[in-house]
Structure 1
Amino acid sequence: MTQVFKFGGASIKDAAAIRHLGRLLAHFPERPLVVVISAMGKTTNALEALLAAARGDDRDDYRARLESLRGDHLATVEALFGSTAGPVTQRVEALVSELDRRHRAHAERERPFHYDQTVCFGELLSTTIVGAWLDEVGMATEWLDARELVVTDDDHQSASVDWKTTAERVRGLDLADGRLRVTQGFIGATPEGASTTLGREGSDYTAAILAHCLEAEVVTVWKDVPGLFNADPRRFDNAVQFDRISFSEAIELAWHGATVIHPKTLAPLQQKAIPLTVRSFLTLEAPGSTIAGDALHDGDVPAFMLCEEQTLLEIRPRDFAFMDEARQHDILGRLVTAGLHAGLIDAGAMRLSLCLDSHPARLEPLVTSLCADYSVARLDGLTLLTVRHPDDDLLRALGEGREVLAERRNATTAQYLFHTRECPATWHIPE
């Protein structure tokens, strides 16, 4: 059965990384295998800066940035192929020239459209180089243009998939000839052929789209960590790796701020019961973590999510009336308009408390809007701790010595809001 692998930018950041990728893939001779690849390293950031320059007046800055992008990719080609670099160099040069042409053609168009027509070249460049290298080292490879497979609407920078048409195109692929397929993450196209991008975590999402349409056996997301952890190892000194959790548990963790797989990636896999495994591209023998349909292992260990730079808003009607459904509907509607997510919501008879990211560009207009119609108390400099599957002893230990400013608890989840100044730089999960 078909497998789908996804590699992010860190795994192909330079020539040495691409060589390592080739050695890794040599351990997986089974076919069909579809490999989804992101842009190299920080290329998307460089393309966004190039986009800004293209839409500005400083042509020298634009030319310098374009030349830097070109030079970085050609240096990788030279390091990989040496004296045989000619054909790959020509393909890279052609892509950079086409990128330049599109910048000039679309500089006066609305930014989201311009963004999608140009930022997609990061993935086109990376897959061109990687596909050629895999061929070079003896892996028969076919390069596929994801824009001819993933069909979307024209909501640029956050396009929605046309599942019926996409499935027809993907299922029309002949994968039985033993070749490895390399394609791009993050990008698609409208039925008219205009490039689109899939928004946050778009490359993971591409892997899930293809797996769903191909009814793949498994999706493997290769990262620079060995799997999924019950807490951020950078902040918790005794975090442990999950062996297996369910789709629903992974979505809960993501909702509460964990940097696990995005829910939009999990949804098409859950529909077809296709497991997703996270593995390390640095340590092939590491066992990895699996997200699948069964919930047998959910709650084996508690999970911890920290959200810092939080603000607590306590909102009350000015007429001392109830905080009824109509008022809650109004307030939460304004939250949606502001593009903010409430990590904690707690309601009382005459108040609604919201814990929000302290994102000035989004938070300040929301606060101004609410103050026009409600009484609003505000507290900044907070940390929200969410714990999945805790017991009472664990929660007592975590809260010891800290003032709890707000809390919420149900059968599976507890949330506590603390002053950040009372929180340690490194947490230790009580035994």
Structure 2
Amino acid sequence: MQIFKFGGASVKDAQGVINLVRVLKTVDSKNTLIVVSAMGKTTNAMEEVVNNYFQNKPALQSSLQEVKKFHNTIMLELFDPDTATLEPHPIFKKTNDLFNELAAFLKSNKSPDYNFVYDQVVGFGELVSTTIVSAYLNETGLKNTWVDVRPLIKTDSYYRRAHVDWDQTQKAIKKEIDPNILNITQGFLGSDANNFTTTLGREGSDYTAAIFAYVLNAESVTIWKDVEGVLNADPRYFENAQLLNHISYREAIELAFYGATVIHPKTLQPLQRKEIPLFVKSFLNPELPGTKISKDPKLSPQTPCFIVKRNQVLLSLSSLDFSYIVEENISHIFNLLHKHKMKVDAIQNSAISFSVCIEDLYNNLENLLQELKAKFKVTSYEDVSLYTIRHYTDKTIRDIEKGKTLLLKQLTPETMQLVTK
């Protein structure tokens, strides 16, 4: 069995859905489970719906209508009315039922928890997307089974970044998935013990594919993207980005940890445990070999790899009385970072100071700063950039530093990190 994952860019419009069918007919799609993300920028649009729900109720209905209109436009291009009755294709009722379910939730919800509401709302992007793609595959002769992923991937209730309950998940997937047919399901989603929808973190559809691959002992996972494979740098920020033909699991995990967006950080761990290879290929040119990630230790070609993360926050802390920053202080700092759900991307400490580069995913920075300032002198640098270079050279360091204000720098034998303003 093989697992295919198609991201939002691959189904951003009707032509994208048509191309997905072309990819499946170009490669062998028998005994395949397809994981599909929300279409285009739908997740961003659904986040706007959530924000309006909490902060701008008058704009809520119009933001919902925008999402519905976007999907209707795609469906009108893909599905013809019934030739005998001229009635709209049944897909319009199916998707309308989903939007009605969403509207009913927004009307009846009593929870003030932003993260809970976020997961209940944003997940409809994947449900609508897969409903449309599944119907179109059936129209074109690719008979498939639509699967609701939420009862299969069981998680805790850590909304927006849920942790998988592997025992329950394995039992549910093995019971419900027939590996001998073409299945289609949603990425990014799961459900907790109360059957409320949870999400696995932004870009979590890759992780979904890996979960299914692990449980079903798949031969491989292929992530279909709008690039020809994994590049050594994001071409939006770096010139002359180069295709990596092969990456080891360890190297890919390092790159993902430091923020390489082509692969979700959690994706590689279950694949590595069962030595399931991961391919990253172009949905525009499916015949190309792309990038293979597997056990082989070589990075091919051996070249520096660049990662940049924008919109970071650098905190520099020192003790109020110039005493040492020791284990007790560091433990207290990390407890506060955990409490306020900060993602730590780099740390550095000396005798009397401690610096940490974080990502404020949950908008808890002000609360964190208040608690830190009770025990430490704190300097906060917001909207900074974190650069990471794997397999750096002196030249690559000079090129990155040129024209920037350097706030933090540290080197290990294989990795260099810079925080700049």
- Global fold match (TM > 0.5): yes
Select the residue among 186, 199, 202 that pairs with 1:200. Answer: 202
Change (3 A) 1:242 1:130: same
Cα separation, 2, equivalents of 1:136 and 1:217:
28
Change (3 A) 1:33 1:83: same
The alpha-carbon deviation at position 306 of structure 1 amounts to 2.8
Cα separation, 2, equivalents of 1:327 and 1:45:
38
Task: Tell me the residue number matched to 2:104.
Answer: 101
Select the residue among 61, 64, 70 that pairs with 1:63. Answer: 61
The answer (yes or no) to whether the contact 1:257–1:305 under 8 Å persists in 2 is yes
Alpha-carbon displacement from aligned partner over 1:144-203 (angstroms, at most 9, x marks no partner): 1112322223333333222122212222246365x4211111122235533322223221
Q: Superposition pairs for residues 256-405 of structure 1, below 5 Å?
A: 256-297=258-299, 300-308=302-310, 312-356=314-358, 361-377=363-379, 383-392=385-394, 394-395=396-397, 405=407
The answer (yes or no) to whether the contact 1:107–1:114 under 8 Å persists in 2 is no
Higher mean alpha-carbon deviation, 90-99 vs 393-402, is at 393-402
1:118 maps onto 2:117 in alignment: no
The alpha-carbon deviation at position 218 of structure 1 amounts to 0.9
Matching residue's letter, 2:253? I
Task: Tell me the residue number matched to 2:85.
Answer: none
Task: Tell me the residue number matched to 2:153.
Answer: 150
The answer (yes or no) to whether the contact 2:213–2:221 under 8 Å persists in 1 is yes
Q: Superposition pairs for residues 23-42 of structure 1, below 5 Å?
A: 23-42=22-41
The alpha-carbon deviation at position 335 of structure 1 amounts to 3.1
Change (3 A) 1:86 1:298: closer
Q: Indicate the percent of aligned positions where both proteins have the same amino acid.
A: 40
1:411 maps onto 2:413 in alignment: yes
Question: Which entry has the higher C-alpha Rg, 1 or 2?
Answer: 1
Q: Superposition pairs for residues 161-200 of structure 1, below 5 Å?
A: 161-173=164-176, 175=178, 179-200=181-202
The answer (yes or no) to whether the contact 1:299–1:388 under 8 Å persists in 2 is no
The answer (yes or no) to whether the contact 2:245–2:301 under 8 Å persists in 1 is no
The alpha-carbon deviation at position 219 of structure 1 amounts to 0.8
The answer (yes or no) to whether the contact 2:29–2:182 under 8 Å persists in 1 is no
The answer (yes or no) to whether the contact 2:343–2:361 under 8 Å persists in 1 is no
TM-score (norm: length of structure 2): 0.87
- SS across alignment from 1:75: helix
The alpha-carbon deviation at position 288 of structure 1 amounts to 1.3
Matching residue's letter, 2:12? K
Matching residue's letter, 1:74? N
Number of aligned residues: 416
| Structure 2 portions without partners, runs of 5+ | 83-87
Task: Tell me the residue number matched to 1:3.
Answer: 2
Matching residue's letter, 1:63? Q
The answer (yes or no) to whether the contact 1:231–1:239 under 8 Å persists in 2 is yes
Change (3 A) 1:172 1:62: same
Change (3 A) 1:320 1:291: same
Matching residue's letter, 2:305? A
Cα separation, 2, equivalents of 1:155 and 1:402:
38
Q: Superposition pairs for residues 214-293 of structure 1, below 5 Å?
A: 214-293=216-295
The answer (yes or no) to whether the contact 1:321–1:350 under 8 Å persists in 2 is yes
Cα separation, 2, equivalents of 1:253 and 1:267:
13
Cα separation, 2, equivalents of 1:416 and 1:55:
37
Higher mean alpha-carbon deviation, 90-99 vs 310-319, is at 310-319
The alpha-carbon deviation at position 369 of structure 1 amounts to 3.5
Higher mean alpha-carbon deviation, 333-342 vs 269-278, is at 333-342
The alpha-carbon deviation at position 394 of structure 1 amounts to 4.8
- SS across alignment from 1:82: coil
Change (3 A) 1:78 1:412: same
Alpha-carbon displacement from aligned partner over 1:320-342 (angstroms, at most 9, x marks no partner): 32222222222333333343344
Cα separation, 2, equivalents of 1:379 and 1:155:
28
1:141 maps onto 2:144 in alignment: yes
- SS across alignment from 2:266: helix
Change (3 A) 1:231 1:192: same
1:18 maps onto 2:20 in alignment: no
The alpha-carbon deviation at position 298 of structure 1 amounts to 7.0
The alpha-carbon deviation at position 315 of structure 1 amounts to 2.7
The answer (yes or no) to whether the contact 1:249–1:298 under 8 Å persists in 2 is no
- SS across alignment from 2:118: helix
Say what the alpha-carbon RMSD is for the aligned residues. 2.9
The answer (yes or no) to whether the contact 1:55–1:108 under 8 Å persists in 2 is no
The answer (yes or no) to whether the contact 1:253–1:260 under 8 Å persists in 2 is no
Change (3 A) 1:27 1:197: same
The alpha-carbon deviation at position 278 of structure 1 amounts to 1.2
Matching residue's letter, 2:206? D
Cα separation, 2, equivalents of 1:392 and 1:72:
48
